[in-house]
């Protein structure tokens, strides 16, 4: 399987963001012919005011139902290019509030998974900038995996996570225990934390779970309540040994890697560390 991470510099203009994603995915398909593409966290609307987030949010449909512009764009991209589309995350309007939610589609444009971000980003960065994601979004509750078909090695299963989740290894071990061999980490990692922690954390999650890590990210400047904010970018794919095999450094773009699933199986067989765990 060939997987592609798409890096974007989204702002608060939802229609422009959707058009940018469509262009980047079309370019990736033409150049790299991936089987799977992954978008960043909040690629449909990053920054702006609370009112902007509410306006750009979508109520996600029941299976088979018709969704909003971003949902239908993802579904159409999967069908048009006949590939799996991991929709990064978008703002989901539900239960009287918002959730930071991933939606994933198979090659026919059918939704195969939906995940709400469990761990919310309520921190202060070293330069004193504060973030309080829980002021806008609710916590997800469920650990979610998605089927990616069957290979000669057996079923291929993806685990879903979003950005700040990466700091909580127990979630990734739970995904691995549920059969995941590929884990998505769409992100809008801050520049302050990203330059020191982004690659380290992703490689650590790959090593300890012995899974492929697919981490599409936002890059560059956006406005947050009138103040400039910067995200780190450096979208990457890491193999189960913890090596980075593809990366987009700065700015919009994409990078593709072939997932050698047999190599992952050899690593897990030769170093069965999950079976050696003595603590829950």
Is 41 marked active-site? yes
Q: Assess whether 4 carries a catalytic annotation.
A: no
Cα separation of 253 and 246, whole Å?
12
Indicate which residue of 41, 58, 92, 111 is catalytic. Answer: 41
Non-local (6+) Cβ contacts of 232 within 8 A are: 189, 190, 191, 193, 194, 195, 198, 217, 219
Phi, psi of 13 (to 5 degrees): -90, 100
Q: Distance between CA 86 and CA 114 in Å, rounded?
A: 10
- As a whole number of angstroms, the distance between CA 162 and CA 188 comes to 9
Respond yes or no: is residue 117 known to be catalytic. yes
Helix, strand, or coil (residue 101): strand
Q: Which of 4, 58, 92, 117 is catalytic?
A: 117
Q: Which of 96, 93, 87, 143 is nearest to 118 (CA)?
A: 143
Annotated catalytic residue within 4, 111, 163, 211: 163
**Kind and range of the H or E run holding 169:** helix 169-177
Nearest of 247, 189, 246 to residue 218 by alpha carbon: 189
Q: Provide the annotated active-site residues.
A: 41, 117, 163
């Amino acid at each position: 399987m060939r997987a592609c991470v798409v890096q974007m510099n989204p702002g608060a203009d939802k229609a422009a963001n959707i058009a940018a994603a469509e262009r980047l995915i079309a370019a990736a398909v033409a150049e790299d012919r991936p089987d799977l593409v992954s978008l960043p966290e909040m690629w449909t609307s990053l920054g702006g005011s609370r009112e902007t987030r509410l306006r750009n949010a979508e109520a996600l449909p029941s299976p088979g139902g018709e969704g909003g512009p971003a949902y239908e764009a993802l579904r159409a991209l999967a069908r048009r290019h006949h590939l799996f589309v991991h929709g990064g995350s978008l703002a989901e309007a539900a239960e009287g509030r918002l959730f930071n939610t991933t939606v994933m589609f198979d090659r026919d444009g059918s939704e195969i998974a939906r995940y709400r971000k469990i761990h919310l980003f309520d921190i202060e960065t070293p330069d004193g900038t504060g973030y309080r994601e829980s002021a806008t979004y609710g916590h997800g509750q469920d650990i979610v995996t998605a089927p990616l078909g069957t290979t000669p090695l057996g079923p291929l299963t993806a685990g879903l996570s979003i950005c700040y989740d990466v700091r909580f290894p127990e979630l990734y071990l739970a995904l691995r225990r549920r059969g995941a061999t590929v884990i998505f980490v769409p992100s809008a990692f801050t520049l302050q934390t990203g330059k020191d922690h982004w690659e380290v954390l992703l490689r650590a999650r790959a090593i300890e779970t012995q899974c492929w890590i697919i981490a599409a990210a936002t890059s560059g400047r956006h406005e947050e309540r009138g103040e400039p904010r910067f995200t780190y970018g450096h979208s990457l794919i890491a193999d189960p040994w913890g090596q980075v095999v593809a990366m987009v450094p700065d700015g919009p773009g994409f990078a593709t890697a072939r997932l050698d699933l047999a190599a992952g199986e050899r690593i897990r067989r030769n170093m069965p560390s999950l079976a050696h765990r003595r603590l829950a």
